[in-house]
Amino acid sequence: MIYTLTQPMSPSPGLHSAGVSPVVSPVVSPNVSPVTTVSPMSLTPGIMHLINYGDKDLGLLLSQRMELVWHGEFERLFAQYFPHSWQLIPTFNPPTDGWRIFKDSAKVRFSCQDCGHGWTSMKGRVIFWFNLNYGANSGLVMFKLYGQQCQRCKNGKYEHAMWYPEEVVKVLGNVYNRVGQIYYGFVRPPLRIDRRAGKPRNQHNAELCQACKDGLCREEWSFS
């Protein structure tokens, strides 16, 4: 079973409105601090046991647990922004004006659903869009994971990226810190740029990469 992104829900009208007021004085909660380094020991046991699998063993187990890892880690981090309630939503249709945009990269794994060919890429791309609605005390983080085509089939179909749990933890820590920088007074919070070890044999093929096709693959990180 391959984890596929659920269809995006439409965000509440309040959050979607273009009239997002600029941050004048961010509310700094004394209990909130940036994520610095995440050692494996600090991960919850539910995530921990997934990390020691080699590339070859990953497939099924990882994809089945993927949604759990994304949402579990997000909840763990963003609960610290209480009383604001933050929500993580996958999307295929990025929002337009008034959203902060953060792009991050990771080592990811692909598996072709037609021929079974598997490959690893250091250029797994994720884009987050986030926005805090002060009036509603709620924030939204939308994200899109970019796919790649199978080089054997070249069938025009982008396979979904399978994300290693430690890479999910990394990028969620990074977006948590960017949110903190914008809304909670974090001063130059760290950005983790490490990758899971191992060098894929294959070169990055722009023809087969969805992020390349959208013109979003060139830099490893961006924030605006």
Residue 37 is encoded by which pair of tokens? 């380094």
Site for Zn ion in 139-168 (CB under 5 A): 150, 152-153
Q: What is the closest distance, in whole angstroms, from the C-beta atom of residue 204 to Zn ion in the complex?
A: 6
Nearer to Zn ion, 145 or 150 (CB): 150
Nearer to Zn ion, 23 or 115 (CB): 115
Contacting range for Zn ion; rule: CB under 5 A; set: 9-17, 98-106, 112-120, 136-144: 112-120
Nearer to Zn ion, 137 or 155 (CB): 155
Q: Residue 41: CB partners within 8 Å, gap ≥ 6?
A: none
The answer to whether the CB of 174 falls within 8 A of the CB of 100 is no
> Does residue 114 touch Zn ion according to CB under 5 A?
yes
Q: What is the DSSP letter of 152?
A: T
Chain position carrying tokens 């096709």: 213
Q: Out of 117, 158, 192, 200, which residue is the one contacting Zn ion (CB under 5 A)?
A: 117
Long-range contacts of 12-17 (CB under 8 A, 24+ apart): 12/136, 12/138, 14/133, 14/135, 14/136, 15/131, 15/133, 15/136, 15/138, 15/140, 16/95, 17/98
Nearer to Zn ion, 192 or 213 (CB): 213
Residue 21 is encoded by which pair of tokens? 């007021």
The answer to whether the CB of 113 falls within 8 A of the CB of 158 is no
Q: Out of 115, 154, 190, 221, which residue is the one contacting Zn ion (CB under 5 A)?
A: 115
Distance CA 197, CA 122 (A): 10
Contacting range for Zn ion; rule: CB under 5 A; set: 26-34, 46-54, 132-140, 203-211: 203-211
Q: What is the closest distance, in whole angstroms, from the C-beta atom of residue 8 to Zn ion in the complex?
A: 23
Q: What is the closest distance, in whole angstroms, from the C-beta atom of residue 190 to Zn ion in the complex?
A: 25
Residues that bind Zn ion (CB under 5 A): 112, 114-115, 117, 150, 152-153, 209, 211-212, 217
